[in-house]
Amino acid sequence: MEPIGRKDFGEDFHWGVSVSAYQIEGGWNSDGKGPSIWDAFVRKPGKVYHRETGDIACDFYHRYLEDIRLLKDLHIPCFRFSFSWPRLIPRGRGETNPKGVDFYHQVIDACLAMGIEPWVTLYHWDLPLALEEAYGGWTNRQILDDFLRYVEFCAQEYGKKVKYWMVMNEPLAFTALGYLLGIHAPGKRGFKNFMPAVHHVALAQAEGIRLLKQALPKGVVGTTFSTSPTFPYRERNLNDLAAARRYDAVLNRLFVEPLLGRGYPVDALPSLKEVFQRYAQKGDEERLIARPDFLGIQNYTREVIKHHGLVPWIKGRPIPPKRRKVPHQAMGWEVYPESLFLALRQFAQYDPTLPLIVTENGYAAEGETTHDPERIAYLSQAIKQVHKAQQAGVLVKGYFVWTFMDNFEWAEGYRPQFGIVYVERRTLERKPKESAYWYRDFLAGKVTIE
């Protein structure tokens, strides 16, 4: 095969890096910011690796200028970051925080002044704690009003400067980890929390897209999804095949299908009907639907599923890469770049005319500084999969590396390092890794992928 270079993806292809507010900003209680559910969660013993927190994180709140200059030096065209809702509206509703509002103006202005396109995510998991305390956050339908007012505020405040918007970041990840399994904030468990959270997030996702599109006719509005193509552990075992299909319904289909007018994936998981019976109101089926300008695809790996009758509801479980004796990275995820192609192809089936953007993809290491050949190998193979998808007719229009710099990886603390820039934890000094220079050279057309 011919080597692949940047130009093979087309002139209008968006290249970038992604980050999120809580994972990099720090300044957790600076200048009027309110606490988020993550500020509370990290203070509970046993929740985060080594009791680490995002209190300081990478201190992007104070160092954003230096960081955006580094983006520029590396010639990275697009920067995806998120707004912290409690930095803008400290109690989640009501009064706004002028210094927080100003902060994001400065970040956006710095990007624009340096020729970097800002891509803004509105919800990357840091719910204002006040809303969790007042009514249980996403488990309560009241959240819709507060969320939409927040979205409206952002559109009015920043709509003239920001063209690219994403409403949600990985709805399945934060509802499953935070409301079913209790391993992310707010630490709730069980279907009684998960089911209503799913429904309210799915509604907020569609309503948020509609609102932004109406408020910003020139904006480009999308939302993002975690994806993990599923495989049966034993290829021809009917039970494993059925379990893989149920996992697919949860991991890949649960939020995108209602958005695109197909309803929840009840064909694979009939019990999802309950969500409707219990939590929906008249007209919700329609309210769940919106027409985004793009879908954000986030992919890191695949899952291999074995039937397991004792696991409630889903009756199966993923077999970890260690047991399958295949390579894995520092999150314990199988190194399987092909999964990006499979995810793109799967999501393209819904509507081949709806552009897909890879809003996250990356590689976690542990104990590394700036020498990161494994990341370069992974990223180049993954980018090759994006090209393969284009060749297969998939309308994929962008690729963002997760992540710009080593940061707070939620319950895993600072142990897994996903950055193309190393951050020395003690001094917070930034040092581009070899992968950052590799990405720069790839974007400059100086290196190609074999």
- The footprint of ligand NOJ (CB under 6 A) covers 20, 23, 169-170, 298, 360, 402, 409, 418
Bridge partners of residue 402, in order along the sequence: 18
Q: Give me the least distance between CB of 160 and ligand NOJ, in Å please.
A: 27
Residue 20 or residue 346: which is nearer to ligand NOJ going by CB? 20
DSSP 270-300: GGGHHHHHHH--TTHHHHT----SEEEEEE-
Residue 240 or residue 409: which is nearer to ligand NOJ going by CB? 409
Q: Give me the least distance between CB of 23 and ligand NOJ, in Å please.
A: 6
Q: Give me the least distance between CB of 41 and ligand NOJ, in Å please.
A: 14
Question: Is residue 157 annotated as part of the catalytic site, yes or no?
Answer: no
Q: What is the residue whose two structure tokens read 């509604």? A: 203
Could you tell me which residues come within 8 angstroms of residue 378 by beta carbon, excluding any fewer than 6 positions away? 329, 335, 337, 362, 363
Q: Give me the least distance between CB of 189 and ligand NOJ, in Å please.
A: 21
8 secondary structure, DSSP code: G
Which CA distances in Å does 373 have to 224, 340, 381, 401? 28, 20, 12, 15
Structure token digits, residue 400: 């963002």
Quote the Cα angle for 416-428-30, to 5°. 100
Annotated catalytic residue, options 132, 207, 303, 360: 360
Q: Which of 365, 308, 364, 302 is nearest to 334 (CA)?
A: 302
404 secondary structure, DSSP code: S
Residue 124 or residue 199: which is nearer to ligand NOJ going by CB? 124
Q: Give me the least distance between CB of 224 and ligand NOJ, in Å please.
A: 7
Quick count: other Cβ atoms within 10 Å of Cβ 73? 12
Q: Classify the phi-psi angles of 57: left when phi > 0, otherwise alpha if psi is within -120 to 50, otherwise beta.
A: left
Q: Give me the least distance between CB of 363 and ligand NOJ, in Å please.
A: 10
Residue 97 or residue 224: which is nearer to ligand NOJ going by CB? 224
421 secondary structure, DSSP code: E
Residue 248 or residue 360: which is nearer to ligand NOJ going by CB? 360
Q: Give me the least distance between CB of 334 and ligand NOJ, in Å please.
A: 14
Check: CB of residue 168 under 8 Å from CB of residue 201: yes
> Cα separation of 221 and 211, whole Å?
10
Q: Give me the least distance between CB of 123 and ligand NOJ, in Å please.
A: 11
Sign of CA dihedral 202, 207, 213, 215: negative
Pairing of strands 396-402, 356-360: parallel
Question: Is residue 170 annotated as part of the catalytic site, yes or no?
Answer: yes
Residue 48 or residue 243: which is nearer to ligand NOJ going by CB? 48
Annotated catalytic residue, options 170, 207, 257, 303: 170
What type of residue is 350? Y
Residue 25 or residue 360: which is nearer to ligand NOJ going by CB? 360
Q: What share of the chain is helix, strand, coil (3-state, %, to 5)?
A: 45, 15, 40
Cα-only R_g, the chain = 21
Residue 347 or residue 402: which is nearer to ligand NOJ going by CB? 402
Could you tell me which residues come within 8 angstroms of residue 102 by beta carbon, excluding any fewer than 6 positions away? none
The residues annotated with a catalytic role in the active site are 170, 360
